[in-house]
Amino acid sequence: MAEGLEVALTDLQSSWNNVRHHTEEISSNRLLVRRGQAFNITLYFRNRAFQPGLDNIIFVTETGPLPDLPKGTRAVFSLAGHRGPSPWIASLQTIGASSLEVSLCAPPVAAVGRYLLKVHIRSLQGPVTAYQLGEFILLFNPWCPEDAVYLESEPQRQEYVMNDYGFIYQGNKNWIRPCPWNYGQFEENIIDICLELLDKSLNFQIDPATDCALRGSPVYISRVVCAMINSNDDSGVLNGNWGENYSDGTNPAEWMGSVAILKQWHATGCQPVRYGQCWVFAAVTCTVMRCLGIPTRVITNFNSGHDTDGNLIIDEYYDNTGRILENKKKDSVWNFHVWNECWMARNDLPPGFGGWQVLDATPQETSNGLYCCGPASVRAIKEGEVDLNYDTAFAFSMVNADCMAWLVFGGKEQKLHQDTNTVGNFISTKSIQSDERDDITENYKYEEGSLQERQVFLKALQKLKAGRFPGSLRAESQPRSVPLSDSPRSLATPSLQPSDVVQVSLKFQLLDSPNMGQDIRFVLLALNMSPQLKDLRVNLSAQSLLHDGSPLLPFWQDTAFITLSPEEAKTYPCKITYSQYSQYLSTDKLIRISALGEEKNSPEKILVNKIITLAYPSIVINVLGAAIVNQPLSIQVVFSNPLSEQVEDCVLTVEGSGLFRRQQRVLIGVLKPHHRASLTLETIPFKSGQRQIQANLRSNKFKDIKGYRNVYINFGL
């Protein structure tokens, strides 16, 4: 009589499987596979060969603390040729003298996460023996057509899943600059931290069995991750701070990568890391989503609306000197705002709304009681379908709200003008397999001023007025009723600007690039478009802005008296010296210059403003010699103090996935005025392919002088 089959050893073939499942960058000695795609394992037997008619092998997979067959977190499936009730598949590959190679495949809807693999062997007349074969991690699979995150284009999969560095666009709409970022989704322990993040969510804490069962849905996972990146409701990854005091943490502008943030969160027992702002929230979200296998990119929207009351109008208040006042309603236009797009099917929505979805982890408004936003279909935003889940109304307002400017004078408010074009400009992301910027504004809105764009705006406004719906704006804030006849985008002619009435145009023009440490030179251009003489009084002011649009006190004011003959143009020169602005600047380096003009004997007023972002010289990074895996490499970093004053407490930080195993920090100390310095770092690259080095220099006077260098690491011999 044949004795029972005994398993002596299991080979999960981690290295071979991981290459085929595009996870070899994470590890070669742990099994990480993607759902909907087969992976092979080999069982080695102690006593005899496997006999197909005699031995019945049953596999068991389990995930989560309470594995359950009906919930799909436990699966039992046989090696027998026929398909059983389980959607998991096991098939015979080869039978050796004392081994058996088997192919296993998780269904393309299986929950992602950490799995335990077991086997039960029943031989004819022998006892059932059970073995624990090992652990594996199951991820989403954008290469599998049946997976909800399937992405057809291989270059897109390489960019949005596999690329571990990128650029986040910052600055303002007239001066867009790329900020290099190390996503590092395949760095050591990051996958474990991502899974820990899922287990720290409120959903898991309240009902772990249901939470694990829902982890097959990218819509569900994206909402969980989104809520966990900020710490407003839970022990999330980042604390937000939009003030000016970061003394008990890291200034958001100093970060260059997600790895240091995620590792700090893990190392401190999941204490929120201080501090983040929108681009940091979005960058860390991108790391986690790419690590889990969901195609993700980082999006910047310039002049981004934050409409707190759902009427699609953002009110801005000015005094008679032209300075912007703190907003009573907390509506604001952010200089830029950064969110994510994640690629997935949306079977919970009507057909046609799958594809890119907005996910915004910056804590702005609550959604179903939690601080998260999305996933909101980009197509739904473009079509004004603001009642579709999730948070589409809020996302719509970020790219479409109108701006209303008010003059506050003598206790009264006078409407200056309504602008339909300000919000939602130059919506940007990194191009596929290139360092160029991709403008994707047309994905979000029809052309400004077109009939289609106005029709979509009216449709969205009517849906908002018709009532609140789940996952729109804050449930407790009711939208103010806006009569459609007053809407700036009613299908009639758009409302007139005051300059059309006064027939005078004012405009600011910079005379040279505004660089940190140098004077800012600009002119005010005044043009009389009428056949009458015009006597103008213009109040000018400058004030610093925080990144979220909050104004600081004015530090420069001037008054110009300009007389214009019919159809005459004049320029009024202005200069703000470094000594005038240096101590008033926030780390966002934003200055808003404003002019409020009024004509003698006319009640009409003209407001014009311009946002200036002050630039730093970049750090220069030079790679000395050939870059080869496991061979020493010298990297030269050249940096300078751009100011005409001494700076202290200088720290240079350098990182790069595949090049440095941890962030490099070099204490520089003091840098004299305009002093240029360089240092050379030694490292041993441990991953091949296209990589990026990121560097940041901070001091007591500035926080974020940055630089980057792309480098190709050869595999060597």
Mean pLDDT over residues 63-74, rounded?
97
Query: What percent of the chain stands above pLDDT 70?
Result: 93
- Identity of the residue numbered 17: N
Mean pLDDT over residues 491-513, rounded?
70
Q: For residue 79, give both structure tokens.
A: 């090696």
Mean pLDDT over residues 646-663, rounded?
97
Nearest one of 662, 555, 639 to 260, comparing CA atoms: 662
Mean pLDDT over residues 193-210, rounded?
97
Provide the pLDDT for residue 367.
59
Answer yes or no: is pLDDT of 155 > 60. yes
Mean pLDDT over residues 435-461, rounded?
95
Q: What gap in Å lies between CA 318 and CA 327, rounded to an integer?
A: 10
Provide the pLDDT for residue 576.
97
Provide the pLDDT for residue 466.
85
Q: Is 385 annotated as a binding residue?
A: no
How confident is residue 422, by pLDDT bands cut at 50, 70 and 90?
Answer: confident
142 vs 454, more confident:
142
Provide the pLDDT for residue 371.
72
Mean pLDDT over residues 579-599, rounded?
92
- Tens of pLDDT, residue by residue over 618-645, are 999 999 999 999 999 999 999 999 999 9
Backbone dihedral region for residue 58 (phi beyond 0: left; psi -120 to 50: alpha; all else: beta): beta
Q: What average pLDDT is seen over the chain?
A: 91
Q: What gap in Å lies between CA 171 and CA 179, rounded to an integer?
A: 9
Active site residue ranges: 278, 337, 360
SS3 65: coil
How confident is residue 83, by pLDDT bands cut at 50, 70 and 90?
Answer: low
154-443 domain in CATH 1.10.3720.10?
no
Answer yes or no: is pLDDT of 234 > 90. no
CATH of 7-139 among 3.90.1300.10, 3.20.20.210, 3.40.50.2020, 2.60.40.10: 2.60.40.10
Answer yes or no: is pLDDT of 434 > 90. yes
Least confident range from 269-283, 465-479, 625-639, 679-693: namely: 465-479
Residue pair 574/540 in contact (Cβ under 8 Å)? The answer is yes
Mean pLDDT over residues 150-169, rounded?
98
CA atoms within 13 A on the CB side of 191: 23
For 380, the enclosing helix (H) or strand (E) is helix 378-383
Least confident range from 211-220, 312-321, 624-633, 659-668: namely: 312-321
Mean pLDDT over residues 321-349, rounded?
89
Mean pLDDT over residues 149-165, rounded?
98
Q: What gap in Å lies between CA 181 and CA 235, rounded to an integer?
A: 24
Nearest one of 682, 647, 676 to 664, comparing CA atoms: 682
504-613: what CATH class? mainly beta
Mean pLDDT over residues 163-176, rounded?
95
Mean pLDDT over residues 541-545, rounded?
94
Nearest one of 175, 168, 200 to 281, comparing CA atoms: 168
Q: What gap in Å lies between CA 416 and CA 548, rounded to an integer?
A: 23
Q: For residue 304, give both structure tokens.
A: 């981004």
Query: What percent of the chain stands above pLDDT 90?
Result: 77
Answer yes or no: is pLDDT of 206 > 50. yes
Residue pair 648/670 in contact (Cβ under 8 Å)? The answer is yes
Provide the pLDDT for residue 479.
30
Q: Is 400 annotated as a binding residue?
A: yes
CA 16-19-24 angle, to 5 degrees, is 110
Answer yes or no: is pLDDT of 480 > 80. no
Least confident range from 324-328, 518-522, 670-674: namely: 324-328
First to last CA, the chain: 54
**Backbone phi and psi for residue 222, each to the nearest 5 degrees, phi listed first:** -65, -35
Sheet of 620-624, strands arranged across: 620-624, 633-640, 676-683
497 vs 417, more confident:
417
The boundaries of every CATH 2.60.40.10 domain in the chain are 7-139, 504-613, 620-713
Mean pLDDT over residues 314-341, rounded?
86
Provide the pLDDT for residue 410.
85
How confident is residue 185, by pLDDT bands cut at 50, 70 and 90?
Answer: very high
Provide the pLDDT for residue 308.
77
How confident is residue 488, by pLDDT bands cut at 50, 70 and 90?
Answer: very low
Least confident range from 168-177, 315-324, 559-568, 690-699: namely: 315-324
For 192, the enclosing helix (H) or strand (E) is helix 190-199
Provide the pLDDT for residue 475.
31
Q: What pTM was computed for the model?
A: 0.93
Provide the pLDDT for residue 482.
32
- The CATH code of domain 620-713 reads 2.60.40.10
How confident is residue 486, by pLDDT bands cut at 50, 70 and 90?
Answer: very low
- Tens of pLDDT, residue by residue over 339-386, are 999 999 999 999 999 999 999 999 877 656 677 899 999 999 999 999
Provide the pLDDT for residue 503.
87
How confident is residue 487, by pLDDT bands cut at 50, 70 and 90?
Answer: very low
SS3 489: coil
Residue ranges of alpha helices (H) inside 87-172 are 154-157
